[in-house]
A and B are shown apart, each in its own frame.
Chain A
Amino acid sequence: MIYKTAETIKDTLAVAEKTEDTGWILSHVLDGNYFDFGFFKIPLPQFELFGIDLSITRHVAVMWLAAILLVLIFRSVSKAYSKSKEPSAPKGVANFMEVLIVFVRDDIAKTTIGKGYEKFLPYLLTVFFFILTCNFLGLIPGSATATSNISVTATLAVISFIVIQAGGMMKNGAFGYFKGLIPHGIPVFLLPIMLVVELLGLFTKPFALAIRLFANLTAGHIVIGALLGLIFILKTYFVIPVSVSFALFIYLLEILVALIQAYIFTMLSSLFIGMAVHQEH
């Protein structure tokens, strides 16, 4: 019986590896210790520190690439500004980045936070451009999407959470902030319930942020993988045009999603900061 089972597993494994294995879809989405370019793999260093696996996985590598790209781009943009003494119209990359920066400043920070938005602007700009760059880097074949990893999105959401709470407490004082969470003029017997609800509300916000970003960025990749996988599952060339065109459509959609999710994460973070800072609304 046991022997038979092992035999069957071996067979299934062999079959699965050859034909119906869908693990490759997930392996594209998941983190790993190598870059997979199809024909060859680039291994990445692995090491542990104090019992924690601190390997440079491909998501870490992509995040670093995004960070390096951002620093290089914005250093040149910043230089373009400081080079001209007289205020002048920006050109090229600086012009494009200025559009995004002004968008984040005027349409996200200024409208949702209002007075005192300047303090949160560096955080919002950084999170916007970081997520945007990670999303776009994930669209490069062979690369990986760091923002489709729940650990990354959850960490970003926790940082957002810290910024939101810190912003609220700095403006209203720690006690005043928690007092302001409970709406005015509610009956006393409702207070315990409201306290629980409001406290839960505090934590659902970053949770939603993390899940939204993770799910949106994961879904597209899985759908593309599944569409292309149809070719191998149906084992016919006729499905190739359909699969490829649909996959291309999803890919284009993902460009849109990359932009929208970066915007939404920043927008909602900004909105929550605004709600924490100006509690009277």
Chain B
Amino acid sequence: MYAFSKIAFVAFASGEVGGPLDVNPGLIIWTVVTFVILLFLLKKLAWGPILKSLGERETFIKDSLEKAEQAQTEAEKLLEENKANLAKAEDEAQKVIAQGREYSEKLKDQMLEESKAEAKKMIEDAKSEIEGKQKEAFNQFKEQVADIAVQAAEKILRENLDSDTQKKIVQKYIDDLSKN
């Protein structure tokens, strides 16, 4: 009893009304008013623009990342292509060199062959010429022999035609001939 009245009096004396669980209708009304006004103000002033620009930034970042990725794949593709091209060019160069080498080899062989053939032909020509010359010389020699024989016959006929002298004369001409 004393305790209760004490609390009641103390509460009354210090100007406090009620305890922590008391419901105050005025405060409820103020809370509703404050909160609803705050909600509308912040929605209009802050949340709308902030969330919008946040979303915009996020899409911007996402787009940038996507673009970067795309660029990277493209660059990689280009690099790969370049590498392939380079390899192809190298191959081609190698091929060209090989072809050139082959061609030159062929040319060398051909030239060698040609020169050999020409040399052979020249030798042949020379041979045939020599042969012709020999023939000619032999013919000339034959003619000369015939001439000499005729001249010798003429001489024999003019001089005394005995067999000894005849023999001697023929011998002499033969000697002359062998001397020539």
Contact = CB atoms under 8 A, between A and B. Distances in A.
Do A and B originate from a single complex? yes
Interface of A: 8-9, 12-13, 16-17, 21, 23-24, 26-27, 29-32, 52-57, 59-60, 63-64, 67, 70-71, 74-75, 77-78, 81-82, 87-88, 97-98, 101-102, 105, 118, 121-123, 125-127, 129-130, 146, 148-152, 154-156, 159, 218
B157 interface: no
B14 A27 contact: yes
B53 A9 contact: no
B27 to A, nearest CB: 4
Top 9 A-B residue pairs of the complex, sorted by shortest distance between their CB atoms? A74-B46, A87-B57, A155-B31, A81-B53, A151-B27, A122-B43, A87-B60, A53-B26, A67-B38
Interface stretch (B5-13, B78-86, B107-115, B140-148): B5-13
A152 B31 CA distance: 6
Interface stretch (B17-25, B89-97, B119-127): B17-25
Contacts of B24: 31, 53, 57, 149, 151
Contacts, number: 157
B20 A26 contact: yes
Most A CB atoms within 10 A — which of B21, B28, B31?
Answer: B31
A156 to B, nearest CB: 7
B14 A78 contact: no
Given A23-B14, A27-B14, 11 more contacts: A13-B13, A26-B19, A29-B20, A52-B25, A60-B30, A74-B46, A75-B46, A78-B50, A81-B49, A118-B51, A149-B24
A235 B99 CA distance: 113
Given A16-B10, A102-B54, A77 B35 contact: no
B159 to A, nearest CB: 145
Contacts of B41: 67, 71
A180 to B, nearest CB: 27
B29 interface: yes
B27 A60 contact: yes
B160 interface: no
Contacts of B47: 74, 121-122, 125-126
B30 A63 contact: yes
Contacts of B35: 126-127, 130, 155-156, 159
A150 B23 contact: yes
Given A53-B25, A102-B54, A122-B47, A155 B39 contact: no
Contacts of B175: none
Contact of A81 (B22, B29, B50): B50
Given A13-B9, A151-B28, A71 B45 contact: yes
Among A13, A26, A97, A155, residue most surrounded by chain B Cβ atoms (within 10 Å)? A155
B37 interface: yes
Contacts of A53: 24-26
B64 to A, nearest CB: 9
B16 interface: yes
B6 to A, nearest CB: 5
A52 B31 contact: no
Nearest to B18: A30
B42 interface: yes
A151 B31 contact: yes
A21 B23 CA distance: 24
A9 B147 CA distance: 197
A84 B154 CA distance: 144
Given A63-B34, A67-B37, A82 B53 contact: yes
Contact of A125 (B14, B34, B42): B42
Nearest to A47: B26
